[in-house]
Structure 1
Amino acid sequence: MFMLKSSKSYSLLSNKCFQSRNFRVNRPILNTVNLKGRSFLTLKDYNAEEIQHILWVSADLKHRMKHMGEYVPLLQGKSIAMIFEKRSTRTRMSTETGFSLLGGHPCFLTPQDIHLGVNESTTDTARVLSGLADIVLARVYSHSSLEHLDKDASIPIINGLSDLYHPIQILADLLTLQEHYGSLRGLTLSWIGDGNNVLHSFMMSLAKLGIDLKVATPKFGSKLQFLTDPAEAARDSNVLVTDTWVSMGQEEEKKKRLQDFHGYQITMQTGSLAAPDWTFLHCLPRKAEEVNDDVFYSSRSLVFKEAENRKWTIMGLMVCLLTDYKPQTPKLRF
């Protein structure tokens, strides 16, 4: 059995200033984090305090704009170039609507508009976009494309998804769990499914935030193999998570993958082994073989709150990378 345990050494922020859905101040908060000008390719490059700051800004914007009805045009006069080699619903909608809501102008670029490294070299594309936009979000097949863009660009690059990592999804997951449980530290999250980019990003971040991680993957050529028994992974966990078993580009492997993942569907029986307060996450789109309707549409499921938080967390991230904005609401209780 493999279990990635969190480390107490990552406790960098006070955890006394935010209760789930209820703000309260205990003492003045001094903000020392400034991420302006940074790129966001992988959570490996961000420490606990920086991740917590992004979540704080995201929660602040959600509170001010959704619940208080304020207009907060922090990105007025700025533009974002959105490069999409892969199709998307949540990433495109959250980025376009979020950037516009903050007063900026999003520019969507399909593979027909900008074929990275084909119609024009990636180096030239990076330099051109640096003179035309303030920030780039790229959803690509190969993570090396992002690294190449970042190397030659003079503006921040955000990973909208690559074959190795999906860090913006993890920000949404963390904010959703923060809202639901009131605190992240001490939770146990169980991943049941494929060893993919979402799992890689969980591995780059959870231990920093005091969250334990358990992983169950089948006995086949997965990059990550820690457990093979879904029941063992689910036992005593607070959060059950899965994702697609057949990612884009793996369609030819579908038949074999469905055979390999037989028995990995998350059901209420799986949940019966988890902690009493267990919840379910899925980054969507979901297939029935991954999780049944009883779980997916139950009160345990946070998937639609999770999907909405893609918007607030990408907004928070873009504000952090483009401005030195200081949140107006109390720090979250981590």
Structure 2
Amino acid sequence: MRATELKILQQKDFLALADLSGDQILHLLELAKDIKNKLSKGEEYRPLNGKTLGMIFEKSSTRTRVSFEVGMLQLGGHALFLSSNDLQIGRGETISDTAKVLSQYLDGIMIRTFEHEKVKELAANADIPVINGLTDSAHPCQALADLLTIQEVKGSLKGFKMAYIGDGNNMAHSLMIACAKTGMDFAIGCPSNYMPDNEIVELAQKEAAANNCKIEVHTSAEAAIKDADIVYSDVWTSMGQEQENELRLKEFKDYQINAELVSGAKTDYIFMHCLPAHREEEVTAEIIDGPHSVIFHQAGNRLHAQKAILVDLMS
């Protein structure tokens, strides 16, 4: 049976990789590769013909909006951009009422917002699939695209080590879980005041133990990056943290990805970043624009990974 004929996700929604098994994640990746291959061959593949995805944005976006819109178009469906400023949700309508109303019109909802609880409440009250396009605690679509990129560049996932250097944020959480569930070692190096959530670390370590891999948390960037196959960075100041920018620039100054730091990684390491990037802050131009960088391959895979999610949930 072809990947595109399988139903992978047992639940209605795609909210966090923690909700999935390792096998489900790997099957989604196979589906993404199958769909990507169809596109490269020019094969018509429109399983979402006539379907509509509503996209709620409380945080602005480049990659999320464009990749979901283009993905729905290529799959035969249609995407509606819904700014929170234009919805009654921005004027006090409850999440539950919004979910129930949108369920009457749409075939799926993608939301990019702040609080993860808001996404969970939306999903609990919607009769249609809800996809987490980003919250403050998780970014599962990006992490799935990252795994797809690693598979394509490195050939597999198991046995490799990812070093994440920077803030213990939503990206760190999703990558940590992604690695643990697919058999990859993961090490984070971050300041003590910016550690990832303890519950997520504990869950990842439990998953890693079952999959013969390791999850390590360090305050030293050098310790985390030692012998890494994948070096990953994110901005030091995320959306909604602008008032902390000056403090963060000082606290993260020893966590910049530069030539000296990456000398501790393997010689054939790849550099990844979820973008947008601030050159000469979290990473030097020499690294992000250098031969080890796969950031645009990675960005492109958002389209294919998300199409896999859309097809599985909505077709």
Fold conserved between structures, TM > 0.5: yes
Matched, 1:156 2:121: no
8 A contact 2:234–2:277 mirrored in 1:
yes
Q: Give the Å deviation of 1:204.
A: 1.9
Aligned-residue CA RMSD (Å): 1.7
8 A contact 1:217–1:224 mirrored in 2:
no
The one-letter amino acid paired with 1:127 is K
Provide the rounded CA distance (Å) in 2 between the counterparts of 1:76 and 1:133.
13
Deviations 1:196-249 (Å, cap 9, x if unpaired)?
A: 001111122211101000010013254459211111111101000010110111
Q: What is the DSSP-based 3-state SS (H/G/I as helix, E as strand, rest coil) of the residue aligned with 2:103?
A: helix
Q: What is the DSSP-based 3-state SS (H/G/I as helix, E as strand, rest coil) of the residue aligned with 1:191?
A: strand
Q: Give the structure, 1 or 2, with the largest relative contact order (CA under 8 Å, sep 6 or more).
A: 1
**What residue number does 2:313 align with?**
321
Provide the rounded CA distance (Å) in 1 between the counterparts of 2:155 and 2:9.
25
Provide the rounded CA distance (Å) in 2 between the counterparts of 1:108 and 1:36.
27
Gaps of 5+ in 1: 1-27, 324-334
**What residue number does 1:97 align with?**
70
**What residue number does 1:135 align with?**
108
- Equivalent of residue 173 in structure 2, options 173, 193, 200: 200
- Equivalent of residue 64 in structure 1, options 22, 38, 43: 38
8 A contact 2:227–2:264 mirrored in 1:
yes
Provide the rounded CA distance (Å) in 2 between the counterparts of 1:116 and 1:141.
14
**What residue number does 2:291 align with?**
299
8 A contact 1:192–1:241 mirrored in 2:
yes
Alignment of 1:106-185 (within 5 A): 106-116=79-89, 118-185=91-158
Q: Give the Å deviation of 1:95.
A: 0.1
Matched, 1:308 2:300: yes
Q: What is the percentage of aligned positions where both structures have the same residue? A: 40
Deviations 1:143-166 (Å, cap 9, x if unpaired)?
A: 111011011101110000001100
* Aligned residue pair count: 295
**Greater helix percent: which structure?**
2
Which of 225-234 and 106-115 deviates more?
Answer: 225-234
Question: In 2 relative to 1, CA 178–223 (structure 1 residues): closer, same or farther, beyond 3 Å?
Answer: closer
Provide the rounded CA distance (Å) in 1 between the counterparts of 2:2 and 2:94.
46
Which of 47-56 and 84-93 deviates more?
Answer: 47-56
Provide the rounded CA distance (Å) in 2 between the counterparts of 1:231 and 1:216.
8
Which of 230-239 and 266-275 deviates more?
Answer: 266-275
- Equivalent of residue 185 in structure 2, options 212, 219, 230: 212
Provide the rounded CA distance (Å) in 2 between the counterparts of 1:29 and 1:205.
24
8 A contact 1:86–1:139 mirrored in 2:
yes
**What residue number does 1:286 align with?**
277
- Equivalent of residue 263 in structure 1, options 235, 250, 254: 254
Alignment of 1:225-264 (within 5 A): 226-264=217-255
8 A contact 2:129–2:313 mirrored in 1:
yes
Provide the rounded CA distance (Å) in 1 between the counterparts of 2:2 and 2:79.
33
8 A contact 1:33–1:50 mirrored in 2:
no
8 A contact 1:184–1:211 mirrored in 2:
yes
TM-score (norm 1): 0.85
Q: Give the Å deviation of 1:276.
A: 2.1
Q: Give the Å deviation of 1:37.
A: 6.0
- Equivalent of residue 16 in structure 2, options 42, 64, 77: 42
8 A contact 1:206–1:213 mirrored in 2:
yes
Provide the rounded CA distance (Å) in 1 between the counterparts of 2:70 and 2:139.
20
Question: In 2 relative to 1, CA 83–232 (structure 1 residues): closer, same or farther, beyond 3 Å?
Answer: same
TM-score (norm 2): 0.90
Gaps of 5+ in 2: 199-216
The one-letter amino acid paired with 2:19 is D
Q: What is the DSSP-based 3-state SS (H/G/I as helix, E as strand, rest coil) of the residue aligned with 1:206?
A: helix
8 A contact 2:84–2:90 mirrored in 1:
no
Q: What is the DSSP-based 3-state SS (H/G/I as helix, E as strand, rest coil) of the residue aligned with 2:29?
A: helix
